[in-house]
Amino acid sequence: MTEAMQGASEQIERTPETLIDTPYCFGIMGNTGAHHRVRSMWGVMAETYGEENVKLWNSYLSQDAKEPHRFGQMATELGGLIESGRPLTVFLYSFGAVEFTHAMDRLRSMRPELFEDPAALSKMSIKLVDPTGFFRGVTSAAGYLKEAAELGSLALLRPGSWHEAVDSMILYPPKNMSNEEVSLMLRELYSEHSHVVKQPDVPVIPFGEPERHYWEKLDVETRSYLEEIDRYIGDFRQQGNNEMIPVLMSLRSKALRQKQPWEILDRQYRPKEDHREAVYSGQYYKEPRMDWSELSGVRQNAQALLGLLPLLRRAFFGAQVDRYEAMIQRGASIEFLTPEFSVFTPQAHLISEATHRVMERFTHASQTPQPESIYREALK
């Protein structure tokens, strides 16, 4: 962890009056959001708010070792920020929305006087990215579980799926097509999965020109293979022939991942290194690595599991929607940010006072490889 991140809590506690109008960003990552994903997202947040004005927590659903008083620390930091009167952006990705309500409940028990003012949260702007636990009723909860299972099967068991094809165009966008052409092509090819198509009245945050050039990390053979596929895709696009492109897209996404045991009969080219995993595990991120220990041993894992159980109860039985509506009643504003190709059904309609935008090209999982392309605008 960088010194700036470690000192964020101290900065909160000693906020001088000169910082009263300086915005601060407090965030919690989603499922599997370990230290390597934190450091990627933290970079664009620090660029937007300043290093000393950002605190981004890893996910409880990760292999990072958990701090014993995690939610007490979160509550203390949030209390200091609310009391300071500084403009506060709260970034909550997926399961981070559950952890935040847990921390806020802890804060309410520690400092109930903060919530006596009906405008106590008037400086708080909450950004919900595909939040966990937003549904009303058993049927809606069952639908969410089905979508979560679908995401797992797409990401882990079907490397050539449409989901992986879209993902490959975020990590390694073709060099022979413009950024806008790629987004339009994906929307045409996978229109049944695009929330831009399904919700045409919702504003869209454009996917900016990618700034992270992972192409440079590819081995020569894989790079040449992808470039050849992209040439064919470009030719078919010019001909107006979209029938073959999904097949090529499937081959393209497979060429970024090592062959799995169950794919023994697959004769298509596969690389010696898993380039997709290399990106997501942080091997190619430009931010410096952080010293962050991982869970090890039976005792650590058992303690983490015990701490997870109340969070899971909160996610599926804790009336998440009601908690966020209560925050609105105390002055908070809420915006839903939906990845265009998320497998989760947007739930922005559950909170009538909330706003909603769609993040072009993103999937639920692809928040960290190219964060600058979306979050410079999304964090505003």
Contact 361, 169 (CB under 8 A): yes
Whether 335 is in a domain gets the answer yes
Contact 197, 338 (CB under 8 A): no
Ranges in the chain, pLDDT < 70: 1-19, 32-34, 63-66, 135-157, 287-318
Whether 14 is in a domain gets the answer yes
* Residue 153 confidence (pLDDT): 59
Contact 85, 57 (CB under 8 A): no
The CA-based angle 253-285-205, given to 5 degrees, is 70
Look up the CATH number of the domain holding residue 63.
3.40.50
d(CA 94, CA 60): 12
* Residue 3 confidence (pLDDT): 46
Whether 30 is in a domain gets the answer yes
The Cα-based distances of 307 to 60, 69, 182, 257, 358 in angstroms read: 9, 11, 43, 34, 33
* Residue 248 confidence (pLDDT): 95
pLDDT tens digit string along 330-376? Answer: 999 999 999 999 988 788 888 889 999 999 999 988 889 999 999 99
Whether 153 is in a domain gets the answer no
Whether 337 is in a domain gets the answer yes
The Cα-based distances of 374 to 133, 173, 196, 288, 379 in angstroms read: 24, 15, 15, 21, 9
**In the chain, beta strands by DSSP E:** 24-28, 54-57, 88-93, 124-129, 204-205, 333-339, 355-359
* Residue 301 confidence (pLDDT): 42
Range of the domain at 312: 3-137+289-378
d(CA 112, CA 199): 40
d(CA 94, CA 99): 10
Contact 134, 97 (CB under 8 A): yes
Whether 240 is in a domain gets the answer no
Whether 303 is in a domain gets the answer yes
Whether 181 is in a domain gets the answer no
- The number of distinct structural domains making up the chain is 1
Burial 272-302 (b: 16+ CB within 10 A, else e): eebbbebbbebebbebeeeeeeeeeeeeeee
Contact 76, 51 (CB under 8 A): no
